[in-house]
Amino acid sequence: MYRPNPIDTSDIVLPESLLALTEKIAENVHDVWALGRIAEGWVYGEKKNAELKVTPLLVPYSELDESEKEYDRRTALESLKLIVKLGYSISAPEGAQD
């Protein structure tokens, strides 16, 4: 049986400049997902039907319910925290606030 075992990033506190990046990454995660679905033949529809490849989530990120956005935000946040946990650094562009 598969037992997920992600790296614990609970000790990582990101600076404000990286937290602000989370939303942009979340939007991009959704767009990449949507492109993949479209390439597989999925289309927009009111109700999900995997057999017919229909999903109500093929909409711009801004139109997603908050619960769906939160899924993408968690992915983005945990990715940023993992990068820092593994010893990499991300520098903010000039003018960004920490």
Cα–Cα distance between 60 and 31 in angstroms, integer? 8
State the DSSP code for 61: G
Q: Range with the lowest mean pLDDT among 37-41, 44-48, 88-92?
A: 88-92
Query: Which residues touch 71 (CB under 8 Å, ≥6 apart)?
Result: none
pLDDT recorded at residue 93: 74
Cα–Cα distance between 41 and 51 in angstroms, integer? 11
CATH 1.10.490.160 at 16-85, yes or no: yes
What's the whole-model pTM score?
0.84
Tens of pLDDT, residue by residue over 43-77, are: 999 999 999 999 999 999 999 999 999 999 999 99
Highest mean pLDDT among 14-23, 24-33, 89-98: 24-33
pLDDT recorded at residue 95: 66
Domain layout of the chain by residue ranges:
16-85
